[in-house]
Structure 1
């Protein structure tokens, strides 16, 4: 068999002088081309200022450019995994890390449960920017678009840029890039522990990303933040506020075709009291019940999305899909906690929340199969 040699993207690590050693270590370990240092480190915090330096390092000969931030970890195979993805999606903006919370986190978790390896980012939220690869022409266009902007968050401006082009980025569902630490130069420390929605080994991620299915339109998306469940509605970006508002799940249900009565009936019939009690022991019963209901809706919608995906392609191991699913379920509970309570989620608490979430997801999937006209 002929060995295919892929052109690796050019690359840069965004950093600030206070993290220079950390950034250099990351670049050395991953074989990245160099560092993009904040050109005004004494100025007001601005990720965009450093991002413009990083995207200016794009090499036209490489065809694509990868930018990672300095507070991540990733396997030695990262560049090869990115190059494989680029060869599959040469014209796409590819995002290799997604936060475990909020709307894009919900979209990625839903996709993992549906058996998809990529999902289109939603247009009404920031584009996670910890590890992004752009075609050279797109990187050039973004620099021109962003130059002179008063926005300091590159992730917010990415979404404005992609919306204007009519095509959001593709989120890699299995995440080989992980966020490390809780400090934030750009003012996000109040969000607490922020981790990947679906941490995955390089060995599993490679076939999933190279050959796995793409979920282009997940429909409505359950997500959980600060202990409460919400639903991102399809087309929400057209709202007067640009879709940035949060719709509590009960208020959003009519737009999904579901009813409070059907959800409440499912909870009354299937809520596992033993698992609820284990989670409630640390985080309280209201959170435990809200997590279960959130994951019930997630399982229902993932099963619905899976119907439109078709069978898994050849070369996508079933075991890897199973591990991706379990990974996405395991982060649902910690991600749904208020930031100040996430440090309380030790291994035992995470296992308890994962067991509760898994029971709800399975109930949601079963209910769709049994009663597709209602829940």
Structure 2
């Protein structure tokens, strides 16, 4: 039995009250945090402040989940066990499949980690997140002074204050975002799903015992069909959301030349699969996805070699291999622009996954050429 005592609340709006009430009943959650000004301007923060205040007496941690998230029936038990392991950290149990934290979590899955430290400049995933109750109270006091309406952005600003650390992101994801509508104005981002979807049975060993990947020298990620690289220390760059293309980052990170990357593309990329991806989503996307996955495989290999505890084995069990497969299965759809994601059929998904793996498996080659 876990020693952490977790109380909980579901963020919701009157238009979704019925599904939120069903979630409370099914998951055994504490209460609803209903938008206190449902007719006012959209604001996730307004409702989040209420959710973080709904702490049960005697609780050590507060878990907040949004109403458009699917979660397993024993979610609170899982959160409590994780809070036992990391009693002082913000723990995010959902990470979107795109952007910097999505790329980072996918990399961590390939490296075999159970948790990864979020980058400090990007929004903190708050769809399903827990905080120690004292930290939740501090967040409320901090956030009450903010004019921002995005609780995930304010959470990042809060965690950067006073020497705090970024949230820990669960690598296997047992929660899932449902639908594409957004009360807070994020519908334009299109389909937004978990980066590494996993069953509870596969996730528990990694969440309870898996190693933690801290910051790397650089992290590849994709957005809107193009590959980028997040560099170490980028939280101090102005503006902090500066995006460096992989071409720009090669020299900045001390990596190989663009010509050397293109040599690998010519030598190792499967031509038939590249042509098929190009026909479906454009030649530019086919190029960017393969090079992104090449860099992803390279950094995952380095993370495993440099940071995994002695004796840790990637893919050493069927469950571990399923997590790696899940992470790679989302990279193609996530890398597309939002308007193209609904076009991905089952056949497309299989093609994109096989194509991505062909590049990821070249990662060791790229690592050895840049070591």
Distance 1:37 1:333, change over 3 A: same
Distance 1:219 1:59, change over 3 A: farther
Deviation at 1:305, TM superposition (A): 0.9
**Does the 8 Å CA contact 2:4/2:83 hold for their aligned counterparts?**
no
2:198 maps to 1:196:
no
**Does the 8 Å CA contact 1:302/1:365 hold for their aligned counterparts?**
no
1:138 is paired with a residue whose SS is helix
Give TM-score, length-normalised by structure 1: 0.95
The worse-fitting range, judged by mean Cα deviation, of 150-159 and 319-328 is 319-328
Deviation at 1:200, TM superposition (A): 0.5
Q: Report the Cα distance in structure 2 between the residues aligned to 1:340 and 1:237, rounded to whole angstroms.
A: 29
- Partner residue of 2:94 out of 93, 97, 103: 97
Q: Report the Cα distance in structure 2 between the residues aligned to 1:86 and 1:317, rounded to whole angstroms.
A: 26
- Matched residue, 1:113: 110
Q: Report the Cα distance in structure 2 between the residues aligned to 1:354 and 1:66, rounded to whole angstroms.
A: 34
Q: Report the Cα distance in structure 2 between the residues aligned to 1:247 and 1:372, rounded to whole angstroms.
A: 19
Q: Report the Cα distance in structure 1 between the residues aligned to 2:198 and 2:280, rounded to whole angstroms.
A: 27
- Matched residue, 1:272: 270
Q: Report the Cα distance in structure 1 between the residues aligned to 2:218 and 2:271, rounded to whole angstroms.
A: 28
Deviation at 1:32, TM superposition (A): 0.7
Give TM-score, length-normalised by structure 2: 0.96
Q: Report the Cα distance in structure 1 between the residues aligned to 2:217 and 2:229, rounded to whole angstroms.
A: 10
2:261 maps to 1:263:
yes
- Partner residue of 2:136 out of 133, 139, 160: 139
2:15 maps to 1:11:
no
Q: Report the Cα distance in structure 1 between the residues aligned to 2:356 and 2:251, rounded to whole angstroms.
A: 24
Residue correspondence of structure 1 range 110-259 to structure 2 within 5 A: 110-166=107-163, 167-241=165-239, 243-258=240-255, 259=257
1:133 is paired with a residue whose SS is strand
1:92 is paired with a residue whose SS is coil
- Partner residue of 1:24 out of 21, 26, 41: 21
**Does the 8 Å CA contact 1:207/1:317 hold for their aligned counterparts?**
no
Deviations 1:208-252 (A, max 9, x none): 1000010011220100010000000010111121x2111111011
1:367 is paired with a residue whose SS is helix
**Does the 8 Å CA contact 1:213/1:312 hold for their aligned counterparts?**
no
The worse-fitting range, judged by mean Cα deviation, of 266-275 and 46-55 is 266-275
1:340 is paired with a residue whose SS is coil
1:371 is paired with a residue whose SS is helix
The worse-fitting range, judged by mean Cα deviation, of 7-16 and 353-362 is 7-16
Q: Report the Cα distance in structure 1 between the residues aligned to 2:100 and 2:200, rounded to whole angstroms.
A: 25
**Does the 8 Å CA contact 2:2/2:81 hold for their aligned counterparts?**
no
Deviation at 1:275, TM superposition (A): 1.4
Size of the aligned set, in residue pairs, is 367
- Matched residue, 2:283: 285
2:318 maps to 1:319:
yes
**Does the 8 Å CA contact 1:127/1:158 hold for their aligned counterparts?**
yes
Deviation at 1:311, TM superposition (A): 3.7
**Does the 8 Å CA contact 1:114/1:306 hold for their aligned counterparts?**
yes
- 5+ unaligned residues in a row in structure 2: which ranges? none
RMSD: 1.4
Q: Report the Cα distance in structure 1 between the residues aligned to 2:7 and 2:262, rounded to whole angstroms.
A: 52
**Does the 8 Å CA contact 1:117/1:213 hold for their aligned counterparts?**
yes
**Does the 8 Å CA contact 1:12/1:34 hold for their aligned counterparts?**
yes
Residue correspondence of structure 1 range 360-375 to structure 2 within 5 A: 360-368=359-367, 370-373=368-371
Q: Report the Cα distance in structure 1 between the residues aligned to 2:192 and 2:325, rounded to whole angstroms.
A: 19
Q: Report the Cα distance in structure 1 between the residues aligned to 2:66 and 2:107, rounded to whole angstroms.
A: 26
Deviation at 1:165, TM superposition (A): 3.1
Distance 1:294 1:313, change over 3 A: closer
Q: Report the Cα distance in structure 1 between the residues aligned to 2:301 and 2:322, rounded to whole angstroms.
A: 17
Tell me which stretches of 4 or more aligned residues in structure 1 moved more than 3 Å: 4-8, 311-314
